[in-house]
Amino acid sequence: MDLHGYFNSSTSFRVRIALALKGVSATSLPVNLREQAQRSAAHVGLNPSAGVPVLVDGDFVLTQSLAIIDYLDARHPVPRLIPEAGEARARVLELSLGVACDIHPVNNMRVLRYLQQVLGVSDAQKQAWYQHWVAEGLEATEQLLARHGHGPYCFGEQPTLADCCLVPQVANAQRMGCAMHAFPRIAAIHAHCMAQPAFQAAAPANQPDFVA
Amino acid sequence: MDLHGYFNSSTSFRVRIALALKGVSATSLPVNLREQAQRSAAHVGLNPSAGVPVLVDGDFVLTQSLAIIDYLDARHPVPRLIPEAGEARARVLELSLGVACDIHPVNNMRVLRYLQQVLGVSDAQKQAWYQHWVAEGLEATEQLLARHGHGPYCFGEQPTLADCCLVPQVANAQRMGCAMHAFPRIAAIHAHCMAQPAFQAAAPANQPDFVA
């Protein structure tokens, strides 16, 4: 199995966490987003969305990190990352989709590039944009955790898809200088996760294509 | 069951389609996004993300349109909108998440408002932004359909979550004046869906809060 990804792509990071938690190995094939390698003919041939991650399992090619993790959860169900049913399932999907649909996309690299290259915003405006959406999104996530979460992971004693989504979002936020003190539940979950070997193995700094 | 939504919110439209296809009735409770009603204390108390849709089923409150449809699919499995397993499931999730994560969020009303009110972009720049992300996203969706789709719906003879996501995205694109001629597969699926009673019943123009 091959995973086309990039060390500091948070969507790639999500899938790497899932693979590591399940103990499934995949060959990591770096796609250098800073050099726009995702727009190469070879990569667009693989993924018409010109993005990462892409999972290649034999002749089966799958894009979209949450679809990939759902696929891995069916093929390698130990540990299960998306609860099979009931309120537990709904809560995990709700929090995960909050990160995946409400926070991450607006601060994606292609969006930041458009802001700078087409709309000509300044570095300070770009930074304010980034921090605005992170703060708004993590505030909502913190509230959801206050209502439904129960640690040390987002939902209990075992990691789920929610942790696979939240941890990379926090890593991005920290890299962009966002203050985390207003989000004590998120910070505690992040710290707990990053003390676990699977999350460490999946971290950007431990990928073969990492550049400081 | 209550559905808090807004007539031309495409994420609310997704859930309305799912409810209509399943023949499940829900009381529609309008949240006027143009008047920022989603930021009222009452609504934020319900949904800390200050968004729609929100499903309220007894004392169970759920946000995120895809989590809501997944919940409805378990409670009211006829017709099933997310295939239970295998490649069919992966393809439906892949296309749905492409719309939900890559296309819709960047053109959300709150994002367009920030562009205008904080960054001071012109109407023409806002329109170009909108059309840029729609064109890029629908191009990728069209390619995915060329590879894996088989009509008259996105994936076969029955509607799925993919159609629940794609049709509202096309409605938004048309409202914003995006050209659809480059996406013949998407246009044909949209036309087929909108000829069906469930999709018609869910359409913005047929909601009680509709304003032209």
Note the pLDDT of residue B105.
Answer: 97
- B24 and B91 in a single domain? The answer is no
Q: Which residue has the higher pLDDT, B150 or B63?
A: B63
CATH (domain of B51): 3.40.30.10
A119 to B119: CB separation less than 8 angstroms, yes or no: yes
For chain A, how many structural domains are there in total?
A: 2
Residue A212 belongs to a domain: no
Residue A211 belongs to a domain: no
- A132 and A183 in a single domain? The answer is yes
- Going from the C-alpha of A156 to that of each of A100, A145, A152, A189, B89, the distances in angstroms are 21, 11, 6, 10, 27
pLDDT-flagged residues of chain A (< 50): none
The pLDDT of B170-177, averaged and rounded, is 94
Q: Is the pLDDT of residue B193 over 90?
A: yes
- A106 and A182 in a single domain? The answer is yes
Residues A15-49 pLDDT 10s = 999 999 999 999 999 999 999 999 999 999 999 99
What is the complex's ipTM, to 2 decimals?
Answer: 0.98
- A191 and A95 in a single domain? The answer is yes
Residue B205 belongs to a domain: no
Rounded-to-10 torsion of CA A206, A163, A99, A124: -40
> What are the start-end ranges of the E strands in chain B?
2-5, 27-30, 54-57, 60-63
Contacts of B114 in chain A (CB under 8 A): 129, 132
**CA distance, residue A14 to nearest chain B CA (Å):** 14
Note the pLDDT of residue B167.
Answer: 98
Q: Is the pLDDT of residue B134 over 90?
A: yes
Q: Is the pLDDT of residue B37 over 90?
A: yes
From the number of C-beta atoms within 10 Å of its C-beta (0-12, 13-18, 19+), residue A183 rates as buried
Closest CA to A106 of A62, A169, A156: A169
The Cα–Cα gap between B14 and B1 comes to 16
Joined together, the tokens standing for residue B71 give 């919940």
Chain B contact probe: residue of A47, A64, A75 with most B CBs at under 10 A? A64
Q: How many CB pairs under 8 A join A and B?
A: 111
Note the pLDDT of residue A90.
Answer: 98
Contacts of A140 in chain B (CB under 8 A): 48-50
Contacts of B71 in chain A (CB under 8 A): 89-90
Residue A171: CA atoms inside 13 Å, Cβ hemisphere, count?
A: 22
Of A79, A98, A132, at which residue does a domain stop? A79
Query: What band does B209 get if pLDDT is binned at 50, 70 and 90?
Result: very high
Residue A189 belongs to a domain: yes
Residue A45 belongs to a domain: yes
Nearest residue of B to residue A143, measured between CA atoms = B48
**CA distance, residue A129 to nearest chain B CA (Å):** 9
* Average pLDDT of chain A, as a whole number: 96
**Which structural domain, as residue segments, surrounds residue A154?**
86-198
Interface of B with A (CB under 8 A): 48-51, 60, 62-64, 66-67, 70-71, 74, 85, 87, 89-90, 93-94, 97-98, 100-102, 104-106, 108, 111, 114-115, 118-119, 121, 125, 128-129, 132, 137, 139-140, 143-144, 147
Residue A120 belongs to a domain: yes
Note the pLDDT of residue A141.
Answer: 98
B101 to A102: CB separation less than 8 angstroms, yes or no: no
Q: Is the pLDDT of residue B118 over 90?
A: yes
Nearest residue of B to residue A71, measured between CA atoms = B90
Nearest residue of A to residue B114, measured between CA atoms = A129
Residues A185-197 pLDDT 10s = 999 999 999 999 9
- A37 and A96 in a single domain? The answer is no
- B116 and B28 in a single domain? The answer is no
The pLDDT of B89-114, averaged and rounded, is 97
- B111 and B181 in a single domain? The answer is yes
Amino acid present at B179 = A
Note the pLDDT of residue B212.
Answer: 87
Residue A188 belongs to a domain: yes
Query: What band does B149 get if pLDDT is binned at 50, 70 and 90?
Result: very high
Contacts of B74 in chain A (CB under 8 A): 85, 89
- B118 and B186 in a single domain? The answer is yes
Contacts of A108 in chain B (CB under 8 A): 106
Of A25, A54, A79, at which residue does a domain stop? A79
Which residues, 6 or more positions from B198, have their beta carbon under 8 angstroms from its beta carbon? B17, B20, B21, B159
Residue A209 belongs to a domain: no
Q: Provide the 8-state DSSP code for B121.
A: -
